[in-house]
Every structure is written in C-alpha cells, then in structure tokens.
C-alpha cells in the first residue's frame, strides 16, 4: 500500500474578480514509503497548489473540486476540524521557501523547538533538548545554534533550522516546497544533499518541489513533471537525464546550468505556460513545442505508459500506445 495516493485531483482558484483558474487538473499520483519524489515545472504550473491539496492545507480562494486522497489506505479527502489536525500532526510536515523567514525573531532557536514539540502534547524539556540537538546535528548545524536568534544566522542556516523543526514531530511525509530558492547556488546544492541524508537517517517519504529539474534529479528517486496543472511525465530519476520523454522535460533539462561547469549554458524555454483561466484546446504545451503535429492541437494527450515511466505526449508515446486508463 502506498503512503499517499491521490486520484484525479482538481483544484480551482476562485478570485474575487475574474474567471476561475484551473490550477490542478486531474492529477493522480502515488508516493511510496521511504521514497523521495521530485515535483518540477516552471513557476505557475500548479506545484504548490497540488502540494497544499495533498496535505489538505488549501484555503480560500482555492477550492478542492474533486478527487480522492488516501494516506496509508485511509480516505482523508473529507477530514476536517480536530480529526484533520490530529491526522496532520502525525503525518505531514511542510517546509516552505519562506520557512527561514517564518522563524520568530524574538525567540531563540531552542524555544522554536519547544513551541513545535509542545504544540500538541506535554513533552519534558530534557527530551526536547536532546531531540533538538540530534536534529541540528543531522542538518549540520553546531549545537550553539540553539542559543542563537534567527537574525544571527545566515539564510542557509535558517533554512536548515526550518528543516530541523519540520522533522521534530517525526512526520511520515515531508513536503519541501522550493526549500532552497532563496539561497545561492552552492548553498542550494548543500541543502538538497542534506535532505537526501535526512531521508536515509529518518526514513520519511518526501515530495521535493522545485522549478529546477537539474537540482532535484540527483536527490530524488523519481520525478513528476508538471505543466499547466497536469503531470506530463513521471519517470525514475536514474533514467530521466538520458531518457526524458516529454518535450517539456527535455526543455527543462536544457535549462539546467551546472554551477561547476566552466561554460554555463543558460537556455530558457521560449514562450510561457498557458493562462489556466481559459479552456485549453489540445495539448497545453503544443504552442511551445517544436515536435507538435496536427493531432496535438485537437486533443489533450492522456498519460501514456512508456518504456521509462509515463508521458502525456502523442508524439513521444507513439511507440507505446498502452493508455494508462485502459
């Protein structure tokens, strides 16, 4: 049984003015026990909205339209109130890009651990202290960090504190939403490497959300690529670099700049993702795709099973026509 299973999730935003924005469109996915899954795509593709939907943290103007979410086989789609709070406490943790800025400036790092660990139950100070020390060591921060205040730490250190705090309640699934975007490139790589180590030590499952496919490829077991609210490719990370199937995935790989490379190639993807408030005819990537054929502007491609995972592209899947939905 998967740790998390989502079936045909749809989420819209209902802005005060203007048309509904269909930000997550029919997304189905599974996250297995102990797996690190990457979720990548350009800004505005629906990654954060999906992450919030999976952890039941959507709030207005977002509306969960349809779909089912199972956690360890239990249907949590309609959980609310106290049941949802209890479920969250033992299941999920979320680390945000802004996590490092969410630290309270007037309390020490140690007191952050006290607040998090005593939020739900009475815990002895000595147990909090030893847990905090273990977690700080795991994220490669010195023990004296506990006595410091957030403003005394660098951005990279604060983000490591935010990660340590997220792990304080032993979550089974940790969602990292662009956890390194505010950091410089080398600090980003170091934090990503730490996430991988933490997963080995603590055994949680993780969803690592990023706009940078190159950055997450080494740290994940599998990557889902999201475009215009849909998952368009799903493949093991070990094969993706060589065998990317979707033209969008290939374009994302071309954007990847290796920070250690002598010559940095910075390719952008021409054009931009479609407006999700209007109906999309055919494949949503077709206007930017140099492989597009006539059929691509007529119908939206389903997610086909392919030799290397799943891909929502008529052209890439021409050889393997086994539709997942069949």
Ligand X SMILES: Nc1ncnc2c1ncn2[C@@H]1O[C@H](COP(=O)(O)OP(=O)(O)O)[C@@H](O)[C@H]1O
* Residue 48 or 199 having the CB closest to ligand X: 48
98 makes contact, choosing from Mg ion, ligand X, none, with CB < 5 to 8 Å by partner type, with none
44 makes contact, choosing from ligand X, Mg ion, none, with CB < 5 to 8 Å by partner type, with ligand X
* Residue 61 or 271 having the CB closest to ligand X: 61
CB atoms within 10 A of CB 118: 13
Binding site for Mg ion (CB under 5 A): 48
Tell me the CA distances in angstroms from 250 to 90, 188, 247, 267, 323, one per residue in order: 38, 22, 5, 11, 22
Tell me the CA distances in angstroms from 191 to 116, 143, 257, 286, one per residue in order: 22, 18, 18, 35
3-state secondary structure (DSSP) of residue 239: helix
Binding site for ligand X (CB under 6 A): 13, 15, 21, 23, 41, 43-49, 61, 276
* Residue 128 or 208 having the CB closest to ligand X: 208
Q: How far is the CB of 45 from ligand X (least distance, A)?
A: 4
Tally the residues of the chain.
326
* Residue 163 or 311 having the CB closest to Mg ion: 163
CB-based closest residue to Mg ion = 48
Residue 235 has, within 13 A of its CA and on its CB side, a CA count of 28
CB 249 within 8 A of CB 233: yes
Q: How far is the CB of 212 from ligand X (least distance, A)?
A: 12
Q: How far is the CB of 52 from ligand X (least distance, A)?
A: 8
Identify the residue whose tokens are 């593709």.
45
Secondary structure string (H, E, C) spanning 78-91: CCCHHHHHHHHHHH
Q: How far is the CB of 226 from ligand X (least distance, A)?
A: 7
Tell me the CA distances in angstroms from 313 to 217, 244, 273, 278, 300, one per residue in order: 21, 12, 16, 21, 9
Sign of the C-alpha dihedral, residues 147, 148, 154, 159? Answer: positive
* Residue 146 or 251 having the CB closest to ligand X: 251
* Residue 11 or 141 having the CB closest to ligand X: 11
Identify the residue whose tokens are 């002598």.
262
Q: How far is the CB of 13 from Mg ion (least distance, A)?
A: 13
* Residue 211 or 305 having the CB closest to Mg ion: 211
């Amino acid at each position: 049984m998967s740790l998390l299973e989502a079936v045909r999730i749809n989420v819209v935003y209902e802005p005060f003015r203007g048309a509904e924005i269909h930000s997550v469109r029919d997304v189905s996915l599974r996250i297995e026990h102990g797996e690190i899954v990457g979720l990548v795509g350009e800004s505005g593709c629906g990654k954060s909205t999906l992450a919030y939907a999976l952890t039941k943290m959507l709030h207005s103007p977002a509306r969960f339209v349809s779909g089912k979410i199972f956690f360890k086989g239990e249907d949590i789609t309609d959980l609310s109130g106290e049941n949802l709070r209890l479920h969250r406490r033992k299941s999920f943790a979320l680390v945000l890009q802004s996590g490092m800025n969410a630290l309270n400036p007037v309390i020490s790092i140690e007191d952050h651990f006290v607040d998090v660990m005593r939020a739900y139950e009475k815990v002895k100070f000595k147990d909090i202290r030893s847990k905090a020390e273990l977690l700080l060591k795991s994220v490669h921060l010195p023990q004296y960090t506990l006595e410091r205040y957030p403003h005394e730490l660098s951005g990279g250190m604060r983000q490591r504190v935010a990660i340590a705090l997220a792990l304080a309640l032993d979550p089974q699934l940790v969602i990292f939403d662009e956890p390194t975007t505010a950091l410089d490139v080398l600090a980003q790589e170091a934090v990503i490497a730490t996430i991988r180590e933490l997963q080995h030590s603590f055994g949680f499952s993780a969803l690592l959300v990023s706009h940078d496919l190159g950055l997450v490829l080494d740290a994940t077991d599998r990557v889902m690529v999201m475009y215009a609210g849909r998952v368009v490719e799903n493949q093991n990370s070990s094969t993706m670099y060589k065998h990317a199937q979707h033209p969008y995935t290939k374009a994302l790989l071309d954007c990847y700049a290796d920070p250690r490379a002598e010559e940095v190639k910075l390719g952008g993807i021409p054009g931009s993702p479609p407006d999700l408030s209007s109906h999309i005819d055919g494949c949503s990537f077709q206007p930017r795709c140099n492989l597009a054929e006539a059929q691509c502007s007529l119908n939206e491609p389903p997610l086909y099973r392919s030799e290397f995972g799943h891909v929502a592209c008529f052209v890439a899947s021409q050889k393997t026509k086994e539709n997942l939905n069949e």
